[in-house]
Chain A
Amino acid sequence: DAGVIQSPRHEVTEMGQEVTLRCKPISGHNSLFWYRQTMMRGLELLIYFNNNVPIDDSGMPEDRFSAKMPNASFSTLKIQPSEPRDSAVYFCASSRDRGVGNQPQHFGDGTRLSIL
């Protein structure tokens, strides 16, 4: 079975540019999570969706960040305008929510973002 697929794997761009990260969750999973990982702050949850609806976006750092999930098989995380402090590895994860809260989250291999 295909795992969570993220693209691109690496992105290098200049500050001020728009950045779009993409994620395809595992088929049949109904929860999707976006995380950011840095050495200083570790793995932080930015936003998560359940059945394509945003449930908790309290981790989104500011209005420059936005996320969408137009259907069950695709999600995007957009940064506009990007800043050097946004440089990090961004992970997407999905899980099958059965209402008991103990399901494993399956992570993609991440997008390494560098803002110059």
Chain B
Amino acid sequence: TQLLEQSPQFLSIQEGENLTVYCNSSSVFSSLQWYRQEPGEGPVLLVTVVTGGEVKKLKRLTFQFGDARKDSSLHITAAQPGDTGLYLCAGRGGGSEKLVFGKGTKLTVNP
């Protein structure tokens, strides 16, 4: 069974700080996605990474896929209250549409 471990589980920081959240597995994934979920809503896709070592940037968010395609990180620069939410990583094996989700990192950015 493929599992994704996310850390930290909870993170509370002040506006303007930088942060990194991690997504780790002992399994290899063909691709990995990051989603953000706000209370009362479903997750929304932020990014998909496919190639080992790949780095993608989305404004103040930087996503990296590990060289061995077993882990990923999300770095947020100068966090803002609007970044508050649950960040979920999700991995796919092979050509399947099936996603395995981590339990998420709940981020709170205080003004």
Contact = CB atoms under 8 A, between A and B. Distances in A.
A101 B102 contact: no
Nearest to B88: A43
A82 interface: no
Interface residues of B, number: 24
26 contacts: A31-B97, A42-B104, A43-B103, A43-B104, A45-B99, A45-B100, A45-B101, A55-B97, A91-B42, A91-B43, A93-B42, A99-B95, A100-B95, A101-B92, A101-B96, A101-B97, A102-B48, A104-B33, A104-B45, A104-B48, A105-B43, A107-B41, A107-B42, A107-B44, A109-B42, A110-B41
Contacts of A101: 30-31, 92, 94-97
B42 A42 contact: no
Interface string A67-111: 000000000000000000000000101010101111111111110
Contact of A109 (B40, B92, B102): B40
A56 interface: yes
Interface string B19-43: 0000000000011010000001111
A93 B43 CA distance: 9
Interface of B: 30-31, 33, 40-45, 48, 50, 88, 92, 94-104
Say whether chain B's binding surface is mostly helix, strand, loop, or mixed: loop
A48 interface: yes
Given A42-B103, A105-B99, A4 B48 contact: no
Interface residues of A, number: 29
Nearest to A59: B98
B35 to A, nearest CB: 8
Contacts of B97: 31, 33, 48, 50, 55, 95, 97, 101, 103
A105 B45 contact: yes
Interface centre among B50, B97, B101 (most CB of A within 10 A): B97
A115 to B, nearest CB: 20
A108 B42 contact: yes
